[in-house]
């Protein structure tokens, strides 16, 4: 395999019902760093029945080239149709690197592409860089529930591929007036080649207020909160900061708060400006979802709790005293009562 | 209904500790368990068998000790178990692992339904099961909540971030199970006793004559773990004294304001 024939960094801008997901834009930010290091172009791939919003987003977040494939068969994700369209693009343009969001569909697509292209796929990367001499991407990822990190290379085959969890990286700044090269490819997947068909869809109840992955301020509660009623004070603090409430798995499992609020390895990955952990011990599985936050504040009764190892500011104290005091302090400073 | 379930033996990652001096994983004394999501996969298989009849086969790739996990599967109600084991399989990444398992499934099949877990809690990639489907060239649906069989078709509820899709697919199908799929049953005493006597056959490279040996093991794996490290914890946490809660809160917000964080 002549690796040099493979050029450019591709980002899959996944859309749901025509709306691009943030993770695609987060990846355009990372993809730009890789593309610059490799001295190659940054390309976005948009597949769907409606591709306009995806193209708009990919333009604003800095793609040099946008490949778009449009068709009725792409209204819903299917491994077969999306896989076929993506593989056709690969056959025509030979990408060097492919980044995909680690959503349910993204992981599925990544697996399909890797097998068909006879190449490697690294899952859930949390840091990406380029080995200068070889042009290999160094994929860094947690395993063993966050207890161990590995650096993984795919040095013999191209494209080199990785998935990244939503929220693991921040969205880059938007560009104004960028004019990427637009390439619309006509690719249709035969009806009989699509083995799975979505016949109905039940939308999940929308979270009220700010979404966890998008919040700039998160006040998270753990088992130390003692009961569901005490999440009200976390909500109040979050509202005052303009943010939202998160939780550890212990409080989700106890039924105090819905699973959509869970932060961590089996929950959401978040990287807000400020993450306030209240009554959370800091198990590795929890840390796996929040250590990328800009500033971490921990409130815990136990001075030896591991959460203090990742916190920037720590308060060894009782959440039932500290959280009300913080609420009061903000209210007073803003002349609210 | 012919069903096969892929189960992996994994270290209980909640029991893993880091050697503070060497900064490596301490695996010694860590119990080996059946990957939790694979228990959900097995439960789903057993329920399908109860409803539609047929047999449930379990396969696991790993060393001899993985037979303990296969016995657990038998004690829960699986009918037959095979250990996929060979020196040459060692070091396989998800590409190679899924290729080997696909070859084993071809050999033991045909199957109507293939089940696996959403992800293994050690390698944590979630890639192996959908990759098996791709090697076999069959339909796949990940993260399923329920499976209903109607003739040569199935209707599956599949969980994605935005909600639940109802999907129709032709058999054979590969599905992955999650914690939300069901509640795995416990083994019965009789099941446990029977499983101790059950014979578990080994499947080795020699049993897979048409396998392409350039696609297995470390050599056949496109990804390579270059190095591993344990997460460094910055220990630069600034501890704020508790004078009284209000005073501490004021101190905190003062510091956040000074650092232009709030
Ligand atoms: C496969 C797997 C996946 C997992 N995924 C996740 C995940 O995604 N997210 C996740 O969070 N966990 C996950 N876990 C669970 C994780 O291992 C921990 O069990 C969990 O994070 C503990 O939650 P906690 O910190 O709220 O509870 P605990 O560990 O019980 O900690 C409670 C803390 O509250 C403190 N406290 C008690 N009372 C007070 C008080 N009045 N004031 C101040 N502090 C107080 C205590 O000192 C203690 O530190 C996973 C586990 C496994 C095995
Ligand atoms: C630190 C570390 C990082 C790694 N990162 C990567 C990576 O990014 N990409 C990569 O390709 N490989 C990676 N590997 C290799 C990977 O762990 C192995 O290929 C492993 O055999 C399968 O992957 P998994 O543990 O992630 O399982 P998953 O793909 O998460 O497993 C999903 C399901 O597949 C089935 N399954 C998986 N393994 C078996 C088995 N042995 N027997 C029966 N059924 C099974 C089970 O049903 C399981 O629930 C990594 C290994 C290590 C040690």
- In this structure, the answer to whether residues A181 and A93 fall within a common structural domain is yes
Query: What's the domain count of chain A?
Result: 2
Residue B52: alpha-carbon gap to chain centroid: 25
A331 CA to middle of ligand 2, Å? Answer: 50
Q: What is the DSSP code string of chain B? A: -EEEEE--EEE-GGG-EE-TTT-SEE-TTPPEEE-HHHHHHHHHHHHHHHHH--EEEEEEES-GGGHHHHHHHHHHT-SEEEEE--GGGTT--HHHHHHHHHHHHHHH---SEEEEES--TTT----HHHHHHHHHT-EEEEEEEEEEEETTEEEEEEEETTEEEEEEEESSEEEEE-TTT--PPPPPHHHHHHHHH---EEE-GGG-TT--GGGSTTTT-S-EEEEEEPPPPP---EEEP-SSHHHHHHHHHHHHHHTT--
Residue A122 falls inside a structural domain: yes
Residue A205 falls inside a structural domain: no
| Residue A160 confidence (pLDDT) above 80 | yes
What confidence tens digit (pLDDT) does each residue in A27-48 have?
999 999 999 999 999 999 999 9
pTM confidence score: 0.89
Instruction: Say if CB A46 and CB A183 are below 8 A apart.
Output: no
Q: Does residue B40 sit at the A interface (CB-CB below 8 Å)?
A: no
* Probe site for chain B from A159, A316, A329 (most B CB atoms < 10 A): A329
Mean pLDDT score of chain A: 95
Q: Write down the CATH number for the domain with range B2-215.
A: 3.40.50.620
- In this structure, the answer to whether residues A186 and A233 fall within a common structural domain is no
CATH code for the domain in which residue A265 is found = 3.40.50.1220
Residue A203 falls inside a structural domain: no
* pLDDT, mean of residues A215-234: 96
The whole-angstrom separation of Cα A285 and Cα A145 is 6
- In this structure, the answer to whether residues A244 and A117 fall within a common structural domain is no
Residue from B110, B108, B115 nearest B84 by CA = B108
Residue from B56, B57, B83 nearest B69 by CA = B83
Rounded to a whole number, what is the distance in Å from the CA of B41 to chain A's nearest CA? 17
Q: What is the DSSP letter of A180?
A: P
- In this structure, the answer to whether residues A162 and A26 fall within a common structural domain is yes
Quick count: other Cβ atoms within 10 Å of Cβ B27? 12
Q: What is the DSSP letter of A263?
A: B
| Residue A210 confidence (pLDDT) above 90 | no
For ligand 1, residues with CB inside 6 Å are A 145, 222-224, 248-251, 262-267, 279-281, 283, 285-286, 289, 299-302, 305, 318-320; B 14, 121
- In this structure, the answer to whether residues A47 and A15 fall within a common structural domain is yes
Of A164, A193, A222, which residue is a domain's last?
Answer: A193
A200 CA to middle of ligand 2, Å? Answer: 32
Q: Which domain holds residue A44?
A: 3-193
Instruction: Say if CB A34 and CB A159 are below 8 A apart.
Output: no
Give, using CA atoms, the residue closest to atom 6 of ligand 1.
A285
Question: Interface pTM (ipTM) of the complex?
Answer: 0.91
Residue from B140, B155, B67, B217 nearest A195 by CA = B140
- In this structure, the answer to whether residues A244 and A143 fall within a common structural domain is no
Residue from B178, B202, B211, B175 nearest B61 by CA = B202
Of A161, A193, A225, which residue is a domain's last?
Answer: A193
The label of the residue with tokens 């030896």 reads: A304
Q: Supply the pLDDT for residue A60.
A: 98
Give the DSSP H or E segment for A148.
strand A148-153
Question: Does residue B37 have its Cβ closer than 6 Å to ligand 2?
Answer: yes
- In this structure, the answer to whether residues A216 and A249 fall within a common structural domain is yes
Distances (CA, A) of A137 to A97, A112, A132, A143: 8, 20, 9, 18
Residue A198 falls inside a structural domain: no
- In this structure, the answer to whether residues A185 and A238 fall within a common structural domain is no
- In this structure, the answer to whether residues A52 and A178 fall within a common structural domain is yes
Q: Out of B163, B169, B248, whose CB is closest to A204?
A: B163
The label of the residue with tokens 């009725």 reads: A72
Residues of chain B with pLDDT under 50: none
How many contacts, defined by CB atoms under 8 Å, are there between A and B? 232
Residue A158 falls inside a structural domain: yes
Instruction: Say if CB A46 and CB A69 are below 8 A apart.
Output: yes
The whole-angstrom separation of Cα A66 and Cα B188 is 57
Q: Does residue B169 sit at the A interface (CB-CB below 8 Å)?
A: yes
| Residue A331 confidence (pLDDT) above 70 | yes
- Encoding tokens for residue B256? 């956040």
Q: Out of B160, B167, B246, whose CB is closest to A196?
A: B167
Residue A202 falls inside a structural domain: no
* Probe site for chain A from B222, B224, B250 (most A CB atoms < 10 A): B222
Instruction: Say if CB A19 and CB A8 are below 8 A apart.
Output: no
What confidence tens digit (pLDDT) does each residue in A53-89 have?
999 999 999 999 999 999 999 999 999 999 999 999 9
Contacts of B239 (CB under 8 A, 6+ apart): A308, A313, A314, A315, A316
Is the CB of A155 less than 8 angstroms away from the CB of B245? no
Q: Supply the pLDDT for residue A175.
A: 94
| Alpha-helical regions (H) of chain A | 22-38, 52-60, 79-93, 104-116, 231-241, 249-253, 284-287, 307-310, 319-333
Helix axis angle, B245-258 relative to A319-333, nearest 10°?
60
Of A193, A225, A257, which residue is a domain's last?
Answer: A193
Residue from A147, A146, A282 nearest B25 by CA = A147
Q: Supply the pLDDT for residue A204.
A: 82
Q: Supply the pLDDT for residue A233.
A: 97
Q: Supply the pLDDT for residue A58.
A: 98
- In this structure, the answer to whether residues A187 and A131 fall within a common structural domain is yes
Distances (CA, A) of B11 to A181, B25, B32, B123: 49, 11, 4, 10
B254 CA to middle of ligand 1, Å? Answer: 29
Give the DSSP H or E segment for A136.
none
From A223, A230, A259, give the residue whose CB has the most ligand 1 atoms within 8 Å, as the site to mutate.
A223
Question: 3-state class of A9 per DSSP?
Answer: strand
What confidence tens digit (pLDDT) does each residue in A114-147 have?
999 999 999 999 999 999 999 999 999 988 888 8
Question: 3-state class of A197 per DSSP?
Answer: strand
Q: Out of B131, B141, B259, whose CB is closest to A111?
A: B131
- In this structure, the answer to whether residues A145 and A273 fall within a common structural domain is no
> What backbone torsions phi and psi does residue B209 show, to the nearest 5 degrees?
-65, -30
Residue from A216, A212, A229, A204 nearest A264 by CA = A212
Residue A143 falls inside a structural domain: yes
Mean pLDDT score of chain B: 94
Instruction: Say if CB B36 and CB B112 are below 8 A apart.
Output: no
Q: Does residue B121 sit at the A interface (CB-CB below 8 Å)?
A: yes
The whole-angstrom separation of Cα A51 and Cα A17 is 9
Q: Supply the pLDDT for residue B235.
A: 63
Rounded to a whole number, what is the distance in Å from the CA of A181 to chain B's nearest CA? 31
Q: What is the DSSP letter of A64?
A: S
* pLDDT, mean of residues A200-204: 91
- Encoding tokens for residue A261? 């609020």
CATH code for the domain in which residue A88 is found = 3.40.50.620
Quick count: other Cβ atoms within 10 Å of Cβ A52? 13
Confidence at A173, pLDDT banded by 50, 70, 90: very high
Residue A222 falls inside a structural domain: yes
- In this structure, the answer to whether residues A51 and A170 fall within a common structural domain is yes
Paired residues of B125 in beta bridges? none
Burial label for B126, CB within 10 Å (0-12, 13-18, 19+), is: buried
Residues from chain B that touch A151, judged by Cβ atoms under 8 A, are 225-229
């Amino acid at each position: 395999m002549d690796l040099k024939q493979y050029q450019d960094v591709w980002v899959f801008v996944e859309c749901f019902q025509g709306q691009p997901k943030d993770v695609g834009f987060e990846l355009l930010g990372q993809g730009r760093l890789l593309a610059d290091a490799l001295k190659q172009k940054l390309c976005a791939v948009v597949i769907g029945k409606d591709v306009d919003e995806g193209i708009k987003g990919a333009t604003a977040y800095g793609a040099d080239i946008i490949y778009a494939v449009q068709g009725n068969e792409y209204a819903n994700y299917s491994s077969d149709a999306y896989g076929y369209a993506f593989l056709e693009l690969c056959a025509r343009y030979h990408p060097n690197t492919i980044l995909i969001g680690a959503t349910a569909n993204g992981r599925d697509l990544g697996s399909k592409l890797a097998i068909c292209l006879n190449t490697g796929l690294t899952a859930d990367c949390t840091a990406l860089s380029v080995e200068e001499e070889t042009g290999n991407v160094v994929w860094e990822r947690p395993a063993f529930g966050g207890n161990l990190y590995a650096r993984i290379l795919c040095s013999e085959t191209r494209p080199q591929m990785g998935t990244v969890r939503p929220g693991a990286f921040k969205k880059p700044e938007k560009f104004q007036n960028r004019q990427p090269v637009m390439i619309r490819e006509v690719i249709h997947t035969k009806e009989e080649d699509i083995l799975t068909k979505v016949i109905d869809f039940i939308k999940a109840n929308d979270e009220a207020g700010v979404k966890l992955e998008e919040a700039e301020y998160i006040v998270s509660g753990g088992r130390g909160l003692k009961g569901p009623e005490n999440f009200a004070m976390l909500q109040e603090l979050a509202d005052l900061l303009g943010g939202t409430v998160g939780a550890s798995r212990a409080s989700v499992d106890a039924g105090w708060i819905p699973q959509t609020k869970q932060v961590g390895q089996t929950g959401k990955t978040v990287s807000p400006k400020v993450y306030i952990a209240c009554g959370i011990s800091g198990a590795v599985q929890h840390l796996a979802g929040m250590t990328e936050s800009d500033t971490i504040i921990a409130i815990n009764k136990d001075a030896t709790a591991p959460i203090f190892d990742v916190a920037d500011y720590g308060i060894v104290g009782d959440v039932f005293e500290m959280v009300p005091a913080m609420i009061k302090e903000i209210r007073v400073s803003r002349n609210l009562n | 209904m012919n069903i096969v379930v892929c189960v992996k033996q994994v270290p209980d990652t909640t029991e893993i500790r880091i050697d503070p001096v060497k900064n490596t994983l301490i695996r010694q004394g860590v119990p080996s368990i059946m990957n939790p999501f694979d228990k959900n996969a097995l439960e789903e298989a057993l329920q399908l068998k109860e409803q539609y009849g047929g047999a449930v086969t379990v396969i696991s790739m790993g060393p001899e000790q993985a037979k303990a996990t296969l016995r657990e599967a038998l004690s829960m109600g699986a009918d037959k178990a095979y250990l996929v084991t060979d020196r040459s399989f060692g070091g396989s990444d998800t590409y190679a692992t899924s290729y080997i398992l696909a070859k084993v499934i071809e050999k033991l099949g045909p199957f109507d339904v293939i089940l696996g877990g959403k992800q293994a809690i050690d390698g944590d990639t979630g890639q192996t099961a959908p990759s098996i489907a791709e090697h076999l060239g069959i339909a796949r649906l990940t993260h399923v909540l329920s499976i209903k069989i109607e003739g040569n078709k199935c209707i599956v509820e599949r969980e994605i971030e935005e909600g639940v899709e109802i999907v129709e697919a032709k058999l054979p199908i590969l599905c992955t199970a999650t914690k939300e799929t069901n509640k795995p049953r416990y083994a019965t005493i009789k099941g446990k006793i029977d499983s101790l006597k059950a014979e578990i056959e080994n499947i080795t490279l020699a049993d897979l004559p048409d396998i392409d040996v350039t696609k297995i093991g470390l050599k056949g794996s496109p990804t390579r773990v270059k190095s591993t490290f344990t997460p460094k914890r910055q220990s630069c946490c600034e501890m704020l004294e508790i004078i009284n809660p209000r005073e501490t809160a004021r101190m905190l917000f003062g510091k956040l304001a000074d650092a232009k964080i709030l």
